[in-house]
């Protein structure tokens, strides 16, 4: 009895290695299921890869957005600094222009 079980195991291993098991009726009946499982695995892996690529793109865009916001804030601060009255007067004096700030108060015109 031991010899037949060992012989059966050897034969079974030999059949697997030779590919004879692929011709068994059980595997032929389940071939559609195996192909479906393989297709689902491929779809799952490709979907996960696409998701990871989108996460990388989102992170890149977030970093770029932060950089643009910081640049806009710096430009706004720079514009505010340059548009102050005292800085405009200094700029005009440095250019050698004859323009001067008015010493008279503004007049309100009423209708």
Give the C-alpha separation, 9 to 19, whole Å.
15
Residues near 27 by beta carbon (within 8 Å), at least 6 away in sequence: 21, 34
pLDDT tens profile 8-25: 666 677 776 777 776 777
What token pair was written down for 7? Answer: 């012989």
pLDDT tens profile 21-43: 767 777 788 889 999 999 999 99
* pTM, two decimal places: 0.53
């Amino acid at each position: 009895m031991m010899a037949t079980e060992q012989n059966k195991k050897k034969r079974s291993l030999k059949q697997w290695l030779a590919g004879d098991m692929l011709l068994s009726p059980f595997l032929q009946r389940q071939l559609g299921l195996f192909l479906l499982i393989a297709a689902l695995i491929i779809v799952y892996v490709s979907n996960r890869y696409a998701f990871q690529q989108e996460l990388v793109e989102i992170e890149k865009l977030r970093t770029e957005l932060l950089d643009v916001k910081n640049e806009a804030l710096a430009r706004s601060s720079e514009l505010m600094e340059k548009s102050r009255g005292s800085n405009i007067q200094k700029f005009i004096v440095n250019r050698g222009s004859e323009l001067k700030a008015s010493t008279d108060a503004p007049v309100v015109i009423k209708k």
